[in-house]
Amino acid sequence: MFRNQYDTDVTTWSPAGRLFQVEYAMEAVKQGAAAVGLRSTSHVVLATVNKAASDLSSHQRKVFKIDDHIGVAIAGLTADGRVLSRYLRNECINHAFVYESPLPVSRLVVRLADKAQVCTQRSWKRPYGVGLLVAGLDETGAHLYYNCPSGNYFEYQAFAIGSRSQAAKTYMERRFEAFNNYSRDELIKDAIFAIRETLQGEKLTSSICTVAIVGIDEPFHVIDQKIIQEVIDSVEIKEDAAAAADQAPAQDDDDKSSEAAPMDI
């Protein structure tokens, strides 16, 4: 049995129990520009790579404000991300109008997952080809969720999606146990480090990344590029100083060994 017998319709199961169109949508997320999210007890930080389609074009926005207490970062088809972010805004506005209180993050994530799941059951629809990292703060604390094109959603301490996201995951997996006790600035710094891991050697500047934060007494907003560049510069200065300090003892050892070596006559 060939795969292409079952991958033309989202409602057709393969004999192995797979929906290939849903898997293709999830693959679109893997091809998008990287996005990372980190959560402490009081703040959530989102960071994305600003990847332009060509040297002649500008990048597309990957971070969207949903409400004062919620924001999203996307990876995948940006057009789908804009549609879903507008849907999330409408849900928050309607809830605030009816109940005069902010919409809880978990409830909003479930509504988004239900909307995505409908597209896996209708032959005249296609799954949304975008993954969303939803960052928010409500009465139960700070939250970071990942919404998948399949309709699944998961809550994370830290997560990364998009192209070369595994490098960022590996970096965060080594440090996530300390995230709960992180300050605001430490969380931002680690988000920048995680984004840098996805660039694979390319120099990180504030022009190719976007960082946003939401926290206690701090509504969701995108951090100014000048501040991000200052953080990047300070990190690079510390790394250069550490590298120089590591090289100095090695040079001293080489000098001592050359002095102790006997002279051949």
The 10s digit of each residue's pLDDT in 86-116 is 999 999 999 999 999 999 999 999 999 999 9
**Residue at 216 is within a domain:** yes
**Residue at 248 is within a domain:** no
- As a residue count, the chain comes to 265
Cα Rg for the chain, rounded, in angstroms?
Answer: 23
Task: Tell me how many domains the chain contains.
Answer: 1
Q: In this predicted structure, what is the pLDDT of residue 254?
A: 58
Question: Under a CB-based contact definition with an 8 Å cutoff, are residues 243 and 236 in contact?
Answer: no
Q: Cα–Cα distances in Å, from 148 out to 42, 120, 212, 213? A: 25, 12, 21, 22
- For 9, the domain range is 3-223
**Residue at 241 is within a domain:** no
Q: In this predicted structure, what is the pLDDT of residue 2?
A: 55
Instruction: Provide the mean pLDDT of the chain.
Output: 90
**Residue at 57 is within a domain:** yes
Angle subtended at Cα 211 by Cα 48 and Cα 102, rounded to the nearest 5 degrees: 105
**Residue at 181 is within a domain:** yes
Residues in the chain where the model's pLDDT stays below 70? 1-3, 248-265
CA distance 57 to 170: 32
**Residue at 186 is within a domain:** yes
CA 58 distance to own-chain centroid: 20
Residue 108, domain CATH: 3.60.20.10
Phi-psi region of 211 (alpha: psi -120 to 50; beta: other; left: phi over 0): beta
